[in-house]
Amino acid sequence: MGKIKQSQVYLLYGEESYLIQENKNKIIQQTLKKEDQEFNISQFDLEETPIEELVTDAETFPFLGERKIVIGEQPVFLKAKPDKLSFEHDVDALLHYLQSPAEYTTLILVAPYEKVDERKKIFKALKKHGEIISCQPVKEWDVSKWVDTIANDLHISVPENLHELFAQEVGTNLLALRSEMEKLALNVGEGGVVTRELAEQLLSHSAEASGLKLVDAVMERDLGRAIRLFKDLEKLNEEPIALTALLASQFRIISQAKVLKQKGYAQNQMRNYIKAHPFVIKMALKRERYFTLEELNDIMTELAQTDHALKQGKMEKSLAFEMMLYKLIHIKQNQMQSLS
């Protein structure tokens, strides 16, 4: 993240809390000396405090030093349908302030909402007299860029061939990504290089990522690894019924990707037929080549039968799931033997 354009008024909006925090910190660092930050930053929760109180504070001279920062969180009046509060915001007070903001004050409004109503008079005034910074969640295909950015900030190196692992394990939550990379930085030290072994060992594991790993264990006919992954997920209180559904979802997308690929569809065209994120389709295309359509059909049948058995309570859940993993891997082995 580069330097933020200097302004007297900022609006940070979006649902990515990491970007909101990073931008807020940058504005503070650019505006106030470290020794002035303790006394010259005031914060208001605008779900509990009328906007006119924030405006009064913004117009008041700094207690110490030459500049001050006033932060207003949750400006509900920027929503298309504002939340009902026990009081009404006098938005005109803010509109009047924006015409001539105090030279000694930097005002930051933080709206952690997916959308703000850009048709509103107040939004247009903020856009005209201030800086609007979007802090929306990042896309899967941008994760690689953020891995590089955060690694650079932490003075460590993460090889490009590990970026997919981060996208798979951590996803697009930048706060979580930063937290995971800080753990890695503590292990490798300044200037260190993250290895695959260390990354796999330390990264927090999401259920969806582990679902993909179970797919890979079946693909590689590695029953031991599949069972270990299942045991790890059990410790995280993941239910066999939910894991069966997760595996079925993964294999269904792999099967759809294989059929569409055989019909000559490109990856970007598949989005019209497969109701999944482009990143998920990309991962499915990496895996479809390891399965025949017959194998995928047999696997889906086995998953459906296991799902039925689990819901009927015909067998102890953990045992039923382990038996299913054994059968999935043997579907793969049997196909290999029949081809040889």
Shared domain for 107 and 226, answered yes or no, is no
Task: Say how far apart CA 158 and CA 149 lie, in whole Å.
Answer: 10
Do 113 and 220 reside in the same domain of the chain? no
pTM check: above 0.85: no
Q: Give pLDDT tens digits for 66-88.
A: 899 999 999 999 998 888 889 99
Range of lowest pLDDT (53-62, 184-193, 201-210, 272-281): 201-210
- CATH number for 196: 1.10.8.60
262 and 326 co-located in one domain: yes
3-state DSSP assignment of residue 320: helix
Do 154 and 93 lie in a common domain? Answer: no
Domain boundary among 134, 166, 187: 134
The number of folded domains in the chain is 3
Residue 103: give its domain's CATH number. Answer: 3.40.50.300
Residue where a domain terminates, one of 134, 158, 174: 134
Q: Are residues 104 and 171 in the same domain?
A: no
In the chain, % helix, strand, coil (3-state, to 5) comes to 60, 10, 30
Token pair of 248 as six digits: 């079925």
Let me know whether 90 and 177 are in one domain: no
Domain span at 173? 140-202
Position 313, amino acid? G
Same domain, 212 and 269: yes
Q: Which residue has the higher pLDDT, 168 or 133?
A: 133
Averaged pLDDT, 309-322: 88
Q: What is the pLDDT of residues 236-286, one digit of tens each?
A: 777 888 889 888 988 999 999 999 999 999 888 898 888 776 777 888 888
Domain membership of residue 4 (yes or no) is no
DSSP 70: E
CATH of the domain at 304: 1.20.272.10
